[in-house]
Amino acid sequence: MEENLDPDSIKIQKNRFFSRGKRIVRKILNMTPEINLQHSSNKISNQLLLSLKSIKKTTKNLLSLDLNSDDNKLSQSLSYLEKEITRLENLIRKREYYANSEVRGLGYLAFNDSLTGLPNRQFFEGIVESLINEARHQFYLVFIDVDDFKVVNDSYGHEFGDSVLKAVAQRIHSALRDGDIVARYGGDEFVALIYYQDATALEPIMDRLLDICQHPYQIDQKEVYVNLSLGVASYPDHSSKYSELIDRADQAMYMAKQLGKNSYQVAFGTTGI
């Protein structure tokens, strides 16, 4: 959000955020009319309701502000509200996918990887496609590959390799923010969806991913080290099509490997690396 907005512009943005919040609230009420925070065992339902509570609190704070004398505080509150709404929208998408799988009798494995427990490729593609269709959110698509994973499999066997993949998946998940998504793409490859906040947000997330995953893994009384190579593509800067975004991120990941591995590269230009 730009600083020093005039009061009319602030009012317009304020009303826009409030309208989005109201639509989300109505959507949740239509989807989950019987959810009770104190009694629900559904983790996603709890997260939805906690986000709603936070949005309501921020909205009340906005309503109590004096637009003429407290512009800085208003700007901070609006920024926080926007992030919470984005996070909430993502949680709603997760719930819709799981609900749809239950209706079709597909169950948990329809959208989750059986080895790591992460969302699977089908789920990830559906989320990204829905964001592209909405054309409202900027985001990063990250392609993640475990460096030299074949060496682990060849040295210790596939069962041990599967245990390493599960541990890597947990670390990747822990390195991301609430609302971001990581999924298993296949084999030793993962993909992540990272919502854009500002131009400086990507680097610390990538650094955290690389750092947390390079620490030793203690598995079956053995200590192993693995690193990651990461490739990043940005929507809509690099493409407005999912297939092209994933290709650009994949190309950037291979560039990271060629430059020494254990690093990340961002795609550049608009037609290829």
Mind telling me the catalytic residues?
A: 188
Nearest to 144 by CA among 182, 92, 95, 87: 182
Residues recorded for the chain? 273
Sign of CA dihedral 50, 55, 60, 61: positive
Q: Alpha carbon of 33 to those of 26, 28, 29, 99, 129: distances in Å?
A: 10, 8, 5, 14, 27
**Sequence-ordered list of residues with C-beta below 8 angstroms from that of 59, at least 6 positions apart, any chain:** 18, 21, 81
| Helix ranges (DSSP H) in the chain | 7-31, 43-63, 71-103, 121-134, 149-156, 158-175, 202-214, 242-258
Spatial distance between the Cα atoms of 132 and 4, rounded to a whole number of angstroms: 31
Q: Measured between alpha carbons, how far is 262 from 144 in angstroms, rounded to an integer?
A: 11
Joined tokens for residue 42: 């559904």
Q: Which residues pair with 191 in a beta bridge?
A: 143, 183
